Amino acid sequence: MKFVSTRGNETATGAEAIVKGLASDGGLFVPETFPLVTADEIAQMTGMNYAERAAHIIGKYLGEFGEEFLKDACASAYSAFEGKDPAPLVRIDEGLYILELFHGPTCAFKDMA
């Protein structure tokens, strides 16, 4: 997948965008296109843990890194979180749920980024 600067026509691969951080024109690198996630794919992801789902979605943008690398990277990134689910969806009431984003190393939502 190619990434393009928000301020010009500079393009980069995913790896190049990560290393550069910003485009030479000061713009941010954004995906040239956004991949489709089908209802069937979402249904298949229900059997995956959080890190596996993250690797699957990230792979749509950074496929050049390879499936195994992304799985290992996501598993490692979320290993510092307490419990088996880094972002549990907790039932509060009938039809009311909350997504807990404080189980990371700093106990803040920013750990999810």
Per-residue pLDDT tens digits for 39-94: 999 999 999 999 999 999 999 999 999 999 999 999 999 988 888 889 999 999 99
CA distance 86 to 63: 23
Structure tokens at 2: 């190619």
Place of tokens 């499936």: 67
φ/ψ of 62, rounded to 5, equals: -125, 45
Q: Do residues 94 and 61 both lie within one domain? A: no
Q: Look up the CATH number of the domain holding residue 28.
A: 3.90.1380.10
> What's the structural domain count of the chain?
2
- Mean pLDDT calculated for residue range 27-32: 97
Per-residue pLDDT tens digits for 63-77: 999 999 999 999 999
Residue 63 pLDDT = 93
CA distance 37 to 23: 28
- 3-class DSSP state of 56: helix
CB-based contacts of 91, cutoff 8 Å, min separation 6: 97
Q: Do residues 48 and 93 both lie within one domain? A: no
Angle in degrees, CA 68, 74, 78, rounded to 5: 150
Which of 2, 20, 84, 110 is flagged as catalytic? 110
pTM over 0.85: no
Whether the CB-CB separation of 7 and 26 falls below 8 Å is answered with yes
Domain span holding position 86: 82-113
Q: Is residue 2 annotated as a catalytic residue, yes or no?
A: no
